[in-house]
């Protein structure tokens, strides 16, 4: 009886150095094109060297079975074979251009991991001066205000106050904190970012608040949010009886969609499913709302999505300080991680469907 023979071969075996050897685990699968359950798979692990360079399965499948159209292996003169090879390799076994590519990919991954770690601890402020604006317009580029990828960066610890940032700017550029003024930037419909308005004194005096992941809960789909408020408060570090508001983060691109979660409806009635994100904050008191521009989760997320923070020197100097104004350079700062004014907390909820 004749059989289909399938083997794995070592490429360029004649050029292999004496003593070369590799242990290889590999599998062949002949796909049944009618029913997957009849796929034929064989797995083995063999040692390859300069002499034993061609190894595999001498009797994989009988020709009688293979060429029978009713069996579904060979249809329209097409045989589908899947091969998987697992083998430890080092730099000597890899082409130079492939090894260089692997090194670059590894470096990029490590760099991204480092950026993620730093981003959790710091806010990134990109500072732009007049000379940066001059380079943008009339030289090599003629559009937009500035190339934010080519300006200096401040790394500000998130637990620090806004005044600490001003002090760092003062040291770097010689502009006292009282002459600095931060602005909000906003995204426009033409996909550009432009200065919108200066930060208020209340905003600058507040801490760098951070919306953060606080945990997850398994809940019954017939349960209600009102039944887990104590657990949510504990996760967020609030008082157990703190009154809180709940919102569902539905999407953030191209626009933010965040809607209230009604505490008296069941999770099923609110159409909450496994993995949905719930943001919660302390209930907004009327006297607090008057002094905060973004008092609730939806307005806060919209603010983060649409705004950047630039920095300008203040124009409110006294006459005694007018001479110093002439020495100052205009500054703008772009903040890529904005967290302000709300105690919004994010919570990932898993729904227990065993109701």
CATH number for the domain that contains residue 30 = 2.60.210.10
User: Are 243 and 347 within one domain?
Assistant: yes
User: Are 175 and 32 within one domain?
Assistant: no
Q: Phi and psi for 126 in degrees, rounded to 5?
A: -95, 125
* 105 within some domain: no
Looking at residue 44, its pLDDT comes to 93
Looking at residue 184, its pLDDT comes to 75
Cβ–Cβ < 8 Å for 129, 311: no
Q: Which one of 66, 88, 110 terminates a domain?
A: 88
The structure tokens 């685990």 sit at 25
Residue 7 belongs to domain spanning: 3-88
> Shortest CA distance to 302 belongs to which of 244, 335, 253, 245?
253
Looking at residue 206, its pLDDT comes to 59
User: Are 46 and 183 within one domain?
Assistant: no
Looking at residue 107, its pLDDT comes to 92
Looking at residue 64, its pLDDT comes to 92
Q: What stretches in the chain show pLDDT beneath 50?
A: 208, 308-355
Indicate the number of domains in the chain: 2
Cα–Cα distances in angstroms (integers) from residue 47 to residues 13, 19, 234, in the given order: 14, 12, 57
* 94 within some domain: no
User: Are 225 and 315 within one domain?
Assistant: yes
Cβ–Cβ < 8 Å for 232, 280: yes
Cα 172–chain centre separation: 31
* 114 within some domain: no
Looking at residue 209, its pLDDT comes to 53
User: Are 74 and 128 within one domain?
Assistant: no
Cβ–Cβ < 8 Å for 313, 179: yes
């Amino acid at each position: 009886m004749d059989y289909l023979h399938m083997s794995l071969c070592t490429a360029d075996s004649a050029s292999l150095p004496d003593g070369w050897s590799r242990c290889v685990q590999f599998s062949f699968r002949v796909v049944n094109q009618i029913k997957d359950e009849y796929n034929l798979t064989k797995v083995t692990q063999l040692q390859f060297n300069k002499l034993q360079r061609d190894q595999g399965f001498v009797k994989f499948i009988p020709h009688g079975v293979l060429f029978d159209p009713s069996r579904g292996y060979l249809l329209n003169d097409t045989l589908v074979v899947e091969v998987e090879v697992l083998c430890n390799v080092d730099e000597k076994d890899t082409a130079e251009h492939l090894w260089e590519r692997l090194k670059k990919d590894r470096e990029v991954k490590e760099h991204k991991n480092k950026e993620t770690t730093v981003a959790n601890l710091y806010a990134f402020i990109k500072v732009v001066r007049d000379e940066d604006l001059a380079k943008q317009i009339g030289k090599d580029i003629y559009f937009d205000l500035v190339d934010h990828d080519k300006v200096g960066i401040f790394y500000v610890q998130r637990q620090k106050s806004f005044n600490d940032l001003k002090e760092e700017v003062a040291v770097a550029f010689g502009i006292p904190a009282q002459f600095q003024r931060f602005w909000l930037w906003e995204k426009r419909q033409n996909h550009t970012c432009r200065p919108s308005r200066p930060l208020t004194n209340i905003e600058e005096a507040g801490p760098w608040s951070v919306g953060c992941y606080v945990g997850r809960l398994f809940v019954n789909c017939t349960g209600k949010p009102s039944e887990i408020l104590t657990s949510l408060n504990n996760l967020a570090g609030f008082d157990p009886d703190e009154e809180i508001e709940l919102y569902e983060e539905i999407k953030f691109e191209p626009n933010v969609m965040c809607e209230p979660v009604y505490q008296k409806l069941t999770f099923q009635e609110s159409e909450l499913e496994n993995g949905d994100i719930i943001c919660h904050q302390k209930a907004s008191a009327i006297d607090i709302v008057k002094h905060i521009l973004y008092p609730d989760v939806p307005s806060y997320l919209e603010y983060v999505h649409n705004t950047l923070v630039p920095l300008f020197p203040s124009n409110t100097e006294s006459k005694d300080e007018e001479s110093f104004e002439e020495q100052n350079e205009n500054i703008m700062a772009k903040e890529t991680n904005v967290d302000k004014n709300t105690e919004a907390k994010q919570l990932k909820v898993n729904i227990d469907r065993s109701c």
